[in-house]
A and B are shown apart, each in its own frame.
Chain A
Amino acid sequence: MIEVIQISRGGSGGVTGAKILAEAAIMYEGLYAQAIPKYGSERRGAMVQAYVRFDNKPIRIHSPVYEANHALILDLSLLDRIDINSVDKEGVIIVNSKKIPESLKGSGRKVAYVDATRISQELGLILSGFTLVNMTMLGAFVKGTNVVSIDNLEKAIVSFWGEKRAPKNVAAALQAYEETKVVIA
């Protein structure tokens, strides 16, 4: 089983992103998957968590992810809200950042980083003043982890958003996939 913890800010599309990632795995990758949004006082701008699980057999676990294989951080300022030591040493920290985050430098951790905010803004993925980095960061997630293929992610994005709204979202994921740098920090 592969378990992912995702941290985002309300309004940036994290919950939807987790759902689409699970959908890509279930519908196109032939895996079993689960996307669990952690509901609470999810106001715009507040921290929102979601968990995604993948397995090749039905998943019977329903509780949150405590020890993730990978961490997906949609907002750099929330990086310190996760205990990186709880994430598998072999796993990847995928983060929305222009460069390797200072706090990870010298950690020896595998980091996948991309300036998702810029990519999304250039594509006009902005809603009510919030930059939607969810699809962009899914592109980075796929580059960093290969849990699902970029083709299958694209199919899931098209299926979720429909013909009309898909293009920008697909473009965001593909561009991030190209630009994401995967390094040992």
Chain B
Amino acid sequence: MVVKHNKKSMTGNDAASYAALFAKPKVVSAYPITPQTTIIEKLSQYVDEGKLDAEFIIVESEHSALAGCMGAAWSGVRTFTATSSQGLLYMAENVFWSGYGRLPIVMPVVNRCLAPGWSIYQDLQDSMAFRDAGWIQIYTKNNQEVFDTVLQAFRISEDKSIALPSMPCLDGFVISHTTAQVDLPSAEDSFNFVGEYSDPVIEVDTEKPWIFGGLVGPEKFIKDRTDLMEAMERAKKKIVDMNKELGEYFGRTYGNGLIEIYGDDVADLTIVSMGTIADEAQDAVDKLKEEGLSVNEMRVRTFRPFPEEDIVEFAKKNHKLLVIDRSVSFGHAGQLRIEIEAVLHRNKVDTSVEGRIMGLGGEDVPYTKIVAAAKEALRSRM
């Protein structure tokens, strides 16, 4: 049965704060940075007002913020933080440590470009730089999805068979500071969805002391990395299950949780993108169809683990993909395009791929620009 919702008006950052509040983390360890700041500002307020029974650790840097979460996660409690851009970079050592260390931390990344040039606007360069850090990465398209994804992230990360940290990603300003409708379930129903963190993936036991971060030989090292790879594989099914459960409990789903298809099943051109560009691309698809052009859309919601099977299955029915990246791997191409080309090649799918880099440094990507890019791609199709 779908639970009751209250219609609310709030920013994307507020949606993230509400989800964290309702999930009742025991430790929030955080440091402010634009455009993330209002997430942790709200949480510190909730702690201060007694609405959230958590230890709010005020630290001097992002590196320490995540270190605080790591310590808390080791002690077997639910933990939360959030960051952006330069803050995420400053955390770098601990981002990898908590990923490879299998710590179930939930950390929304409010996507903002990296300096120089100094800018506070959105692109995906920051979280993309951490695609190899062993974190689940889910890219959201609107305020509602931010709320839902943060709740789901606790379930995914804290599953003992997965035990990986999660980054729900939201575009800076475009989501984080934009006010829009969010259908908010009650605190109780939200907590029921997440559940108690009663069976910790790891828990320090002072009766049974053991060493963290000790020296390991290649054999154990490789086993750990192989385990991590397998946990990522299992996370795919978990994300699909969480999407189904979200549907049953809250009455909303996002594609199959990994990818979301919009428009016809088969078209001359498929627009592929992530985040808010993918939401706006749906308007582009409608516009192109009105003009008699055959275009559909695939939104990649989950980037890590990368949904190879789902992407391949959809791509092989279609003729050409236009992949829009909001980040670049310098010396190669946009990361989404790179990965899509790789899985198509590995699966011997010959659907052609054209890549476009759009929206860097907060450049607007209105649907009119997506329409123009799609028309060019249709003209040049083989």
- A33-74 vs B, CB cutoff 8 Å, 1 = contact: the mask equals 111110100000000000000000011111110100000000
Among B175, B179, B364: residue with most chain A CB under 10 A: B179
With a cutoff of 8 Å between Cβ atoms, the chain B residues found around residue A26 in the complex are 7-9, 180-181
**Inter-chain contact B364/A64, CB cutoff 8 Å:** yes
**Inter-chain contact B366/A63, CB cutoff 8 Å:** yes
Among A32, A36, A60, A62: residue with most chain B CB under 10 A: A62
**Inter-chain contact B174/A35, CB cutoff 8 Å:** no
CA gap between A54 and B120 in the complex, in Å: 27
CB distance from A66 to the nearest CB of B (A): 7
CA gap between A36 and B176 in the complex, in Å: 10
**Inter-chain contact A62/B181, CB cutoff 8 Å:** no
Out of B35, B177, B181, which one reaches A33, CB within 8 Å? B181
- A56-97 vs B, CB cutoff 8 Å, 1 = contact: the mask equals 001111111010000000000000000000000000000000
A137 within 8 A of partner (CB): no
CB distance from B7 to the nearest CB of A (A): 7
A19 within 8 A of partner (CB): yes
A23 within 8 A of partner (CB): yes
With a cutoff of 8 Å between Cβ atoms, the chain A residues found around residue B175 in the complex are 62
CA gap between A62 and B277 in the complex, in Å: 8
With a cutoff of 8 Å between Cβ atoms, the chain B residues found around residue A36 in the complex are 173-174, 177-178
Total A-B residue pairs with C-beta atoms closer than 8 Å? Answer: 68
CA gap between A34 and B179 in the complex, in Å: 5
| Chain A interface, number of residues (Cβ within 8 angstroms) | 21
**Inter-chain contact B180/A63, CB cutoff 8 Å:** no
CB distance from B135 to the nearest CB of A (A): 25
CB distance from B75 to the nearest CB of A (A): 38
- A10-27 vs B, CB cutoff 8 Å, 1 = contact: the mask equals 000000001100110011
CA gap between A36 and B175 in the complex, in Å: 9
- A114-131 vs B, CB cutoff 8 Å, 1 = contact: the mask equals 000000000000000000
Among B171, B175, B283: residue with most chain A CB under 10 A: B283
CB interface residues, B 145-182, toward A, < 8 Å: 171, 173-175, 177-181
CB distance from A62 to the nearest CB of B (A): 4
CB distance from B177 to the nearest CB of A (A): 6
Chain A, Cβ-Cβ closest to B179? A35
With a cutoff of 8 Å between Cβ atoms, the chain B residues found around residue A61 in the complex are 280, 283, 366-367
Out of B8, B35, B121, B178, which one reaches A62, CB within 8 Å? B178
Chain B, Cβ-Cβ closest to A41? B120
Chain B, Cβ-Cβ closest to A59? B180
CB distance from A165 to the nearest CB of B (A): 18
Among A18, A61, A66: residue with most chain B CB under 10 A: A61
**Inter-chain contact A34/B282, CB cutoff 8 Å:** no
**Inter-chain contact B366/A35, CB cutoff 8 Å:** no
**Inter-chain contact B180/A22, CB cutoff 8 Å:** yes
Chain A, Cβ-Cβ closest to B11? A19
CA gap between A22 and B177 in the complex, in Å: 13
With a cutoff of 8 Å between Cβ atoms, the chain A residues found around residue B367 in the complex are 61, 63
CA gap between A22 and B180 in the complex, in Å: 7
**Inter-chain contact A66/B366, CB cutoff 8 Å:** yes
CB distance from B271 to the nearest CB of A (A): 13
CA gap between A144 and B133 in the complex, in Å: 54
CA gap between A60 and B174 in the complex, in Å: 11
**Inter-chain contact B171/A62, CB cutoff 8 Å:** yes
Chain A, Cβ-Cβ closest to B171? A62
Chain B, Cβ-Cβ closest to A21? B179
Q: Beyond A61-B280, A63-B364, is A19–B179 a contact (Cβ under 8 Å)?
A: yes
CA gap between A37 and B11 in the complex, in Å: 11
With a cutoff of 8 Å between Cβ atoms, the chain A residues found around residue B279 in the complex are 60, 62
**Inter-chain contact A27/B9, CB cutoff 8 Å:** yes
B365 within 8 A of partner (CB): yes
B256 within 8 A of partner (CB): no
B294 within 8 A of partner (CB): no
Q: Beyond A60-B279, A61-B280, A66-B366, is A39–B179 a contact (Cβ under 8 Å)?
A: no
6 contacts between A and B (CB under 8 A): A23-B179, A27-B8, A36-B173, A60-B280, A61-B366, A62-B174
Q: 9 closest Cβ contacts across the A-B interface?
A: A63-B366, A35-B179, A62-B276, A23-B9, A26-B9, A63-B364, A60-B279, A62-B174, A36-B178
For the complex with contacts A33-B180, A36-B173, A62-B174, 4 further pairs of A-B residues with Cβ separation under 8 Å are A39-B121, A61-B283, A62-B175, A62-B178
